[in-house]
Structure formats: C-alpha cells, structure tokens
Structure 1
C-alpha cells in the first residue's frame, strides 16, 4: 500500500469486519422473478447510511448480479455503510427466465423500480439480515451504479427520460435518495449518440440530465472511449456532470478505461485496464464523498482528495460546481 493510499483511509479509521448476507428475497407483484439482494455491512456500528449499488451489463455471467462489485461493496461496508445489491432483470443470471418478459431486453424502468422496492422494504431487509436490525439510518440513502447501473442511478437522482416507445417524458427520481455516485455512466443522446450500437440501445440516448438535481459524484475514465455508442471520446462519460445542475463533482481517473481498474470483480479477466491501486483509490474516494455528504463538515472527502488527487502520483483530478 502506498503512503498516499494509506493516508486516505485514515479519515475513516481501521476497516471493520464485514458481514455479507444473500440472498434476501423480496417478492414483487408483477415482476417475473423475485427480487434478490445481497446486503453487506460492518460487523459493528449503528446509524449506518445505506448505499444501493446498481450493477452494469457486461459480458460476465455473474458479475452483473448481486454477486459482483465486491471491490467496492466490501470497502464501503468495512468503512461504515450498509450496501444493498440487487440482481436486476438485465442480469445474465436471469436471461433464460425473463427473455420474453415485458420491458426486455433493457428493463430500464424495472431496474429503477428495483431500488424503490428495496427502499420500501428496508425494514424487512434489516430484520432478515442477521445482526443488522436497528443499525441502519433510513434517512441516509445513496445510490451508486456502474455503466448501465450509472444510467439507472441517474434516473433515480432525477434525470428525465424520453420513452422511445411512447414518446412520454418519464421521471423516476426517488426523493429518499440524498446522494449518488455515477461510475462510467453513459452520456448524452442526440447527435453525439452515433456509434454502431446506438440503434440497439435507444434508451441510453433518451436521458435528460438537466433535471438531475440530487448531489452526485460523477466518475469518468480519461481512456474510456465508448466507440460503440459515440465518437466524441471519453468526455461523453462526463456528461452527467457537465449537463446536470449543481451540486455535482467530477472525478476523472487517469488512464482508466470502462472497468475503472477492475471494480466489477476481483481479478476479472474482462477488465481491460486492471489496476488494483486505482480500484483501491476509487473505493476510498467514493466512500469519502458519501461520508461527507452524510456528515456535513467532515473532512473525509477533502483528505482523500489531498492524498489521492494531488501531487505527482495522483490517480485523477477533481472539479466541482
């Protein structure tokens, strides 16, 4: 561990042992399969903020499910958050069950509604997971999402969407969510959404960030060139920052591609830019951002930025509005 990495962890103290429990099964009327979630939380502590973590799409069979994103979920849980990870209907683990279900193959509305169902059932979750009852703070809710999960997070943070099927403007903002982290999220539509796969994913290009008012940290890799969707380069993934109203923060990670160093899973072969130091830094920076959002006046975010985004060994740069 580098000195700068160690310093950023000091804002939180030593990591706690993590308890992880899955699946918590939530029957949802009308959903083709039950909603299953994993819950990870520190073994000690009370008043825990909740982070809803929305998985991406991706080529793996299991990382796009409640079983993925351990490098982030474990760190966040070890540093004071209760992390809830659903398996969305887009998961490859469910493809044989839901291929012909309403909303397939994008399930964009269902993905957002999964998080609302989780919030509606927090009491059930809290009392199902051993040793969690009475330890979470239901007033401190954040959403985080990677790639397609970032798209889902944007909707829950207030972004609008022009439904390609109906032409209606849809708003799925969730007022119980107080902060967000968008990781390699898709950018704008319109003329910029011109790649060879754009026509296959019209829903991605239908988002409107101008109403995404909830505070959020947008994370983009400066080598994340999604040519399949756009020809404008890595800046496309900064659109949720650039086009949304304040307060927003942008973290641009140096040399990071779409996997941001490997956040979807430990040692995942699909990661094109594997970099454990980058993943460790990102985990600490995102935890620090959320900690400060829920504890106004705390120095966690400032300390993490000073340690990890300044000097010759910085992992990225930060700007805010």
Structure 2
C-alpha cells in the first residue's frame, strides 16, 4: 500500500511516502525531499521516480495554499492557525491484481471530505462539510483533484506500488531478532523487560512463572518504532509480592512472528540494570569528596594557628634566653 499524507500548517507543508507502514521518504516544503536509507537504492535504480517526487514536493505548497484559503473564507475564518490534511494511497492484491484506492481530506483535525472512487464525487464526512461538498464538486479545486486521481489510480500508483513491492520484497520479508535487557529504576520499582531492534513488528513479549505466562501483575507496553526502521517493546513485572527466593521461577520470553527460536531471559539480580547502582556510586564519590575537603580545611586551619603562635612567641636561642633571665633577675 502506498500512503501519502499532506499537511498544511500556516505556510508549511509536509508529506510522507509509506509502503506497508515503512517510511520511504519525507517531504518538507521548506527543506525539500528527505529520502530514507531504505529507499535510496530504489531511487538509484529508478532516478526518474526520484525526480517525480522532488517535483511533487515542490508543488505541495502552491496547491494546498489556495485550498485552505477557500475553506477559511467559506467558514468565515479570518485569522488563526488552520490545518488541511490529505491522505491518499492504494492497495494492490498481488494475487487478484485488484487495485483499491482511497482519498480523504481532514480540516482542523477532523474528517472532512472523502472521494468516492466509483462515482468520483465528494462525500461529506461531517455536517460542517455538507456546504463544502457541492463547491468541491463544481470548483476547479475539487474537479482538479478528481481528474488527477482518475489518472493516479489507473496508471501511476499501481505501477509504483508493484515496483516497490518487487524491489523491497526481500527487505520486507527480513527478520531481525532484538537485544533483550532487564531494567529497574529502584529496588522497589517493577522490573521492565525491554526488547529492542526487532523486525517485523509482529512479536510478543511476556513474563512467565514456572513456564506459564502471567496474565496478572504485568503491564504490557506498546510496540514502538526505532529510528532505524526496527521496533521495540517492553513488559513490566511487579515484584512487590515476590520473595527473592522465588525470582528464579520467573523469566521473560520474546517471540518473533515466523521465527521458531525464543529469546528467554531469566530473572536474575545480576542481569538487572538499575539507576540505583549509579546513585550509590555518586554517594560514595560525594562522601569521599567531603572527607577530602574536610581534611584540607583542618590542615589549613592548623597551619594558620601554627603561624600565628610562631609570630607571637619570641625566638628561642641560647643567647636570647640568657639575656632575658639576666634582665629579670634584680640581683644581677
């Protein structure tokens, strides 16, 4: 599926190109086209496609700006920030060769108009869009969009999608196993089992006790994307009611779709990475620093007292002591 998203915020537009939820490129009207690593080799093979996307990126702002201006006038909006979004794409069934397309607009964060690809007329998705529908059906804006997508869904998108699917099949079908870590903020916090760097995103991560999956005392996190196209997920285990002797009965298990091998991580104290260790080290360092500073201050104070006493006391030499005793003795 090719999915392209356009957004207009004030005078800035952005668009994304995605194939099966994989980000291929990002267009910004101010910064230009940013091709992701996964698509660079594809555009090296098909440079004409890269040029086509660059031109499309440059043309986003001139197309969207008059559209949002018309909507602002239609709804008597003379100021403020308004957002016009478009989502379009197609799905191709490689077995039946059937291609299905979709085009939908949103305005200020809400569904607005959808294009019926059988009749090529606009469908209002909320009451406020009813007055905009006949205008878009008759105006150059709406008619121009319809004409473009009549060509796009019969020629451009199916051809692109088949090329993407053919070229990226090996990449899409790859599997990457994650690294799994046990994390804990403090000794009283839940232990989090984190798996990161896996692909595809169809995976499971569970805590087990004596080989049985735990339905309770666990908190499952969402599967999140990493910057390199892989994914991460975590699951937390509450140990408040578990004695240290029972820790060995628990393990964290990661399973990737299509891979028989499981990654099993035993719940062992030595495997847990925690901030508490860093905190204790800092405490030791801080204590040592205080002790050293105190010794320096004590030494400095002693040195000052010694110098003062030395300055007050007369010099002690044999000659001086004899002379002083004679002065104090009245018989001499």
| Fold in common (TM above 0.5) | no
| Higher share of residues assigned helix | 2
| Higher share of residues assigned strand | 2
TM-score when scaled to structure 2? 0.23
- Structure number, greater radius of gyration: 2
TM-score when scaled to structure 1? 0.24
